[in-house]
Structure 1
């Protein structure tokens, strides 16, 4: 395990690695016996100059429904945190798409901001990995164009519960019994779906098609030992905020860093709290959601994301490649 202490004041410039802008489109994965419909957003290489796209209350740069530039491209699936959405990491998605990746983010039905029951529903910890598998099945099957996605070059990016999702997809075996027991006090809500036998690792989905994983401040408490991570064989880039937050504790992330097998790297972000990994917020959102959008005065989220996005890009380039098939 390699530990890298980042200097937040160091700003990595955006070198011109591609002349393409990010194409953008939204779509749905139909419901099936495996789960409900999934709402998704896709960023892709596009040879047309970006314009402003109005999406609800957000304005994002891109080209609506642009023809994908290239074939046999690597795919990155993005998984948001608790109560998040597929737009929470769009700056990272845009960076990857500009560099030649297809990037698809989903709203997890059991865990997105649109789910009013999310504060009581922990079933998402079971359904999230299945959501990702169903998305990949759809992208390689009914939604597949003329060989746009290389099925041998699929990566994953996840934040918070999305980071937990990536660990499970890669082969992680969470210890739910340790996390949920006892079913009293503050843990009582977590046990509303019946006995702990429901929360079984046998219900979880792993996906060997995922070849490289980036996880930021993952929900970590249920991976307390090296045995819970021993089956992860793909390269992992792990990020942790110095101060943690929202149920993610720095010491638990550090435990994962120590116990990850294989080719993994660990980056600690000084002076950062948990939500620093979400894209920088516009001013109006800073006013309405200061708990998510406002950082300590000593931390520059915009500068950090310039660095962060380039490091994520470099990792996926190294592990999956861009351009010709390896």
Structure 2
């Protein structure tokens, strides 16, 4: 009986503490006339003590099936980079859920680690913003999370191609012929651009998204004119060395050309993939290219500051 009383006391102490953790679940958006099914992860505010959960070589921290704490919560949508994953920024998602946000990250169909069918094609650049709009539509209107979300408080986090996606959603007009973007053959998208086989349909903007955090965005936006319609607040992060088609000078040009001055952060000694979550030993062994940083750069330490700054930025605009 004493042992039972002791563990009951410990459990009540955990439940009553002010600290949060992140609930974790998966979600599927059904296919419709606008596109194929979307697979996503959802992080939510939770009061149950979190533990480590493994998805193959990726280790996250969360609580499966945890009841959502709070109501009228802000929503953050996360868009990964080229051939990336819904779990690529899990630590950022966990931090935001801890801070009282519902966070949804998807795998972009045809351009994710498990499905590369369209990753080299310009169609991926057209469909990515539509993926995000479909995801928000479903979360608000058809998911069990909709009743917990304030539809007027939606933010976006995007990395690399996900950053490009965010700029389109914010109203930017890409110029795929921009000669400053490296595009070597034999990548199909480069041949399509060279042959002028470019999309003619309008790209998807989403005015429901009120604020954007973008890390090393792939920029097809070389002029002030291409960005003139972007009026919502942006936090912009740039690595010193860039990579995967992202040039540091292009991100700096974005900061200069945006009509409203962004909250701009340049990260010394960082390369492009430093914005991905710190890797487990197993993931480092299987994917050294995205997990290994320079000797002078501590990704885990950087992410403490990175996640804190992103959380503070979203709170400023969405928690009021």
Residue 56, structure 1, aligned to residue 56, structure 2: yes
Structure 1 Cα separation of the partners of residues 121 and 191 of structure 2: 10
Structure 1 Cα separation of the partners of residues 185 and 93 of structure 2: 40
Residue 274, structure 1, aligned to residue 268, structure 2: no
Structure 1 Cα separation of the partners of residues 116 and 36 of structure 2: 16
> Alpha-carbon deviation of 1:191?
3.9
Unaligned runs of 5+ in 1: 1-16
The aligned counterpart of 1:311 is 309
> Alpha-carbon deviation of 1:65?
1.5
Aligned pairs for 1:36-115 within 5 A: 36-115=36-115
Q: Is the 8 A contact 1:241 1:273 kept in 2?
A: yes
Residue 237, structure 1, aligned to residue 235, structure 2: yes
Superposition CA RMSD, Å:
2.2
> Alpha-carbon deviation of 1:288?
2.5
Q: Is the 8 A contact 2:212 2:234 kept in 1?
A: yes
> Alpha-carbon deviation of 1:189?
4.5
Give the TM-score of the pair, scaled to structure 1. 0.87
> Alpha-carbon deviation of 1:57?
3.6
> Alpha-carbon deviation of 1:144?
4.4
> Alpha-carbon deviation of 1:54?
3.3
Moved more, 161-170 or 254-263: 254-263
Residue 212, structure 1, aligned to residue 241, structure 2: no
* Residues 292 and 63 (structure 1), Cα distance of their counterparts in 2 relative to 1, 3 Å cut: same
Higher-Rg structure is 2
Higher relative contact order (CA 8 A, sep 6+): 1
SS for the counterpart of 1:134 is helix
The aligned counterpart of 1:24 is 24
The aligned counterpart of 2:135 is 135
> Alpha-carbon deviation of 1:298?
0.5
Residues matched between the structures, number: 303
SS for the counterpart of 1:303 is helix
Structure 1 Cα separation of the partners of residues 175 and 34 of structure 2: 23
Q: Is the 8 A contact 1:163 1:218 kept in 2?
A: yes
- Deviation string for 1:257-308 (max 9, x for gaps)? 1011125211000000000000111122222222111111011101000000
Q: Is the 8 A contact 1:45 1:68 kept in 2?
A: yes
Unaligned runs of 5+ in 2: 1-16
- Deviation string for 1:108-140 (max 9, x for gaps)? 002111113345323110000000000000011
* Residues 320 and 184 (structure 1), Cα distance of their counterparts in 2 relative to 1, 3 Å cut: closer
> Alpha-carbon deviation of 1:204?
0.7
- Deviation string for 1:203-260 (max 9, x for gaps)? 310000000000000001x100001111011100000000111110011111101011
SS for the counterpart of 1:271 is coil
